[in-house]
Amino acid sequence: MSEPILELRGINKSFGPVHVLHDVDFAVHPGEVTALVGDNGAGKSTLVKSIAGIHPIDSGQVLFNGEEVHIHGPREAADLGIEVVYQDLALCDNLDIVQNMFLGRERGKLGLLDEADMEQAARKTLASLSVRTVKSVRTQVSSLSGGQRQTVAIAKSVLWDSKVVLLDEPTAALGVAQTRQVLDLVRRLAEQGLGVVLISHNMNDVFEVSDRIACLYLGRMAAELPTKDVTHGQVVELITAGRSGDLGIARPENATV
């Protein structure tokens, strides 16, 4: 197995008195899709945001390409090649699709924008995702449907030459055909050698595209296993009880938030 491109060791994160992540270890391998599963409130989004530099971590190590890194903000995560599709999408309603896709990384010289260049690049990316229902790349995001917005958020993350892509429930609002597109894209990204993390509550999708499954239970990493070694039922048990047979946390009943 390849060396992980991104590795977390003993990550802790609290929001005030709420201890959300407990000593979480997590690894993302290049060329693989790692599914991150867990119940509502298990801490999946918090983990993703900690990696992305949105929430500073309280303790623990982050290794990128084997070297320890300290990510202090979204900018630094992006510079390392980490892209994130957030669960709440994080789009600006008052900007159009192109403007959103390039937000914070606009192209152009001397602070002036090169709109034409950005527009062409955005259209190419969207076309590769087979976005058929959006009239124009200059449509304001406020006038898009939920699924279209999600597609824009995903397109935004694949526009860049990234090494790790974290997708937080990217198919939650998508129709059948669009979900298919996104799952194919997830596989395609992995085949291109990227490390992909997919958060999803849909077990069928998880088993279809992932190489490994990591399961969070109340902020603890219950298990991290190759997909082919586990069954549907085991994963569901890990999610809901933190333990399944000899897999999982030793004493999930002692786990508290």
Ligand X SMILES: Nc1ncnc2c1ncn2[C@@H]1O[C@H](COP(=O)(O)OP(=O)(O)OP(=O)(O)O)[C@@H](O)[C@H]1O
Q: Is 135 in the site for ligand X (CB under 6 A)?
A: no
CA 221/CA 242 separation, integer angstroms: 9
Q: Is the dihedral of CA 241, 245, 246, 250 positive or negative?
A: positive
- Taking CB under 6 A as the binding criterion, the range among 44-52, 71-79, 89-97, 154-162 that sits at the site for ligand X is 44-52
Q: Is 127 in the site for ligand X (CB under 6 A)?
A: no
Among 33, 42, 45, 71, binds Mg ion (CB under 5 A): 45
Task: Report the residue closest to Mg ion, judged by CB.
Answer: 45
Assigned token pair, 181: 């597109």
The arrangement of strands across the sheet holding 33-38 comes to 82-85, 164-168, 195-199, 33-38, 212-217, 220-226
Quick note: the x/- pattern for Mg ion over 178-217, rule CB under 5 A, is ----------------------------------------
Neighbours of 184 (CB within 10 A): 13
**Interacting partner of 240 out of Mg ion, other proteins, ligand X, none (Cβ under 5 to 8 A depending on kind):** none
Residue 212, C-beta contacts closer than 8 angstroms, at least 6 positions apart: 29, 32, 33, 34, 35, 224, 225, 226, 227
Nearest CA to 61 among 134, 4, 129, 137? 4
Quick note: the x/- pattern for ligand X over 75-114, rule CB under 6 A, is ------------x---------------------------
Q: Is 105 in the site for other proteins (CB under 8 A)?
A: yes
Q: Is 135 in the site for other proteins (CB under 8 A)?
A: yes
- Taking CB under 8 A as the binding criterion, the range among 38-46, 96-104, 222-230, 237-245 that sits at the site for other proteins is 96-104
Which residue do the tokens 């603890």 mark? 220
Q: Where do contacts with Mg ion occur on this chain (CB under 5 A)?
A: 44-45, 87
